[in-house]
Structure 1
Amino acid sequence: MVRTLAVARALVAALMLLAVGRLAWQGIADGSFVPWNFFGYFTIQNNLIGVAALAIAARYVGRERPEWVELLRLTAAVTLTIVVTVYWTLLLPTDDEPWAWTNLVVHGLSGVALVADWLVDGPRRPLPWGLLPWVMAYPLLWVAVTLVRGATDGWFPYPFLDPANGYAAIAMVVGGIVVAGLALGALYMRATRWRALVPA
């Protein structure tokens, strides 16, 4: 079981990394690749964070992980759930190739895999509830940087972050995502707290 979990994490992480690399290569091949735009997408950044979370967790299979590793795993599970949900509910009509394998990996498998990994092999000691707000720290930092870019150079990665829509509309969408993210984080934390009863 321990070896199987480690191998599964490594394979999924490799597939996610391959999908991101393939998307970058497609942009390079057709001349549309701009590094600071490509890596500015929330989807790309959080797939890479998910890769890191899986790879690091694979090194700790069968033994207790540091708190920061568990927080990284929880954050990746929450943010990739948001990525998958937002894509299939809001962004699907804007994508010309929704069924491409790369898209299915970065907007589907990644979220499912990180949530499943968390639920199957959650923390052996429950994370303190005081860490919950940190789950949304990185997404909020990303939003802040993205809005500054949108106001200065006119680039924005997703239609709902277009400054032309007005900052009140953007605040409503971002606020809803933050609330949903905190709710998901609390749900995922609660789902694994039973492990506190299991000897390490």
Structure 2
Amino acid sequence: MTVTSAPEGRTASPAPVTTLRRIAGVVSLLASATVLAALITQITDQVSVGRFEPTEYFAFFTIQTAMINIVVLAVGGVMALRSERDTRLYTAIRASVFSYAIVTGVVYNLLLRDVPNSDGYVGPWWPNEALHVWIPIYIAVDWMLASGRARIAWSAMWLAVSYPLIWVGVTMLRGAADGWYPYPFLEPFGPNGVVGVVAHVVGIAAFIIGLTAIAVVINYVQTRSSSTSAAR
């Protein structure tokens, strides 16, 4: 097999963006817009009934990761439309987003879905479903199926677990200062006590590490397959 190089003085043109990758890019942009719309809907509704507390609303793990999702999905969508391959940094961040999305969906649906607000407030149904069900499912499926990822190392797990640990630390310090905790399972004076809080935090941290390990393995299989195909 002969390999034809680019003429002298010219650089080889980048690989064209495939139709499937373009479609994935558009869907990623739509997912980003959906998350933004969900947050705007929640905030607007809470303002209208006089219960919006910015320092509490933006302290929730779901809300913070939702804001991360808006940026990451939008950047990924633009990248997919413009180039055939993601950068290594973006891929590592995207692996973290994969683990946060699944944790958000699992924790909400197992521990929080049937827990009512203390003031009896019930907001619009669809933002909660979007943030805790639809978007986590999309992010997980997209990670497993989308092409164009760069290969990442096992060290990506440290990146993934660092933000949740910082979030827990800040949350517990704030709770100790003003008595407010975003989730019942983080309340040290609640029914489960300090031991229950530690168990939940350790369990969720281990879950995040395990999910990120799965994300790295998926990434390895995908990039190995694409490298093998390119070499043929």
Does TM, normalized by the shorter one, top 0.5?
A: yes
Which residue does 2:167 correspond to in 1?
Answer: 142
Determine whether 1:175 maps to 2:194.
no
| SS in structure 2 at match of 1:60 | helix
Give the one of 9, 17, 35 matched to 1:16. Answer: 35
How far apart in 1 are the matches of 2:168 and 2:45?
Answer: 26
The verdict on how the C-alpha distance between 1:15 and 1:125 changes in structure 2, with shifts beyond 3 A counting, is closer
Bigger Cα displacement from structure 2, 187-196 vs 37-46:
187-196
Give aligned-pair identity as a percent: 28
Determine whether 1:126 maps to 2:151.
yes
The verdict on how the C-alpha distance between 1:43 and 1:64 changes in structure 2, with shifts beyond 3 A counting, is same
The verdict on how the C-alpha distance between 1:97 and 1:31 changes in structure 2, with shifts beyond 3 A counting, is closer
Count, aligned residues: 200
The C-alpha deviation readout for 1:121-174, integer Å capped at 9, x for no partner, is 256432111221221110111101100111001111000011213333211110
Give the one of 40, 44, 49 matched to 2:68. Answer: 49
Which residue does 2:114 correspond to in 1?
Answer: 93
How far apart in 1 are the matches of 2:101 and 2:166?
Answer: 16
The verdict on how the C-alpha distance between 1:123 and 1:136 changes in structure 2, with shifts beyond 3 A counting, is farther
| SS in structure 1 at match of 2:113 | helix
Q: For residue 47 of structure 1, what is the amino acid of its counterpart?
A: A
Is the radius of gyration larger for structure 1 or structure 2? 2
Which residue does 1:195 correspond to in 2?
Answer: 222
Determine whether 1:73 maps to 2:94.
yes
The verdict on how the C-alpha distance between 1:185 and 1:123 changes in structure 2, with shifts beyond 3 A counting, is farther
Give the one of 163, 167, 175 matched to 2:188. Answer: 163
How far apart in 1 are the matches of 2:111 and 2:122?
Answer: 15
Structure 2 residue runs without a partner (length 5+): 1-19
Q: For residue 71 of structure 2, what is the amino acid of its counterpart?
A: A
TM-score normalized with structure 2 length: 0.81
Give the one of 137, 140, 165 matched to 1:112. Answer: 137
Determine whether 1:63 maps to 2:84.
yes
Determine whether 1:186 maps to 2:207.
no
Q: For residue 215 of structure 2, what is the amino acid of its counterpart?
A: Y
Cα RMSD, aligned residues only: 1.8
TM-score normalized with structure 1 length: 0.93
Runs of 4+ in 1 over 3 A off after TM superposition: 95-99, 122-125
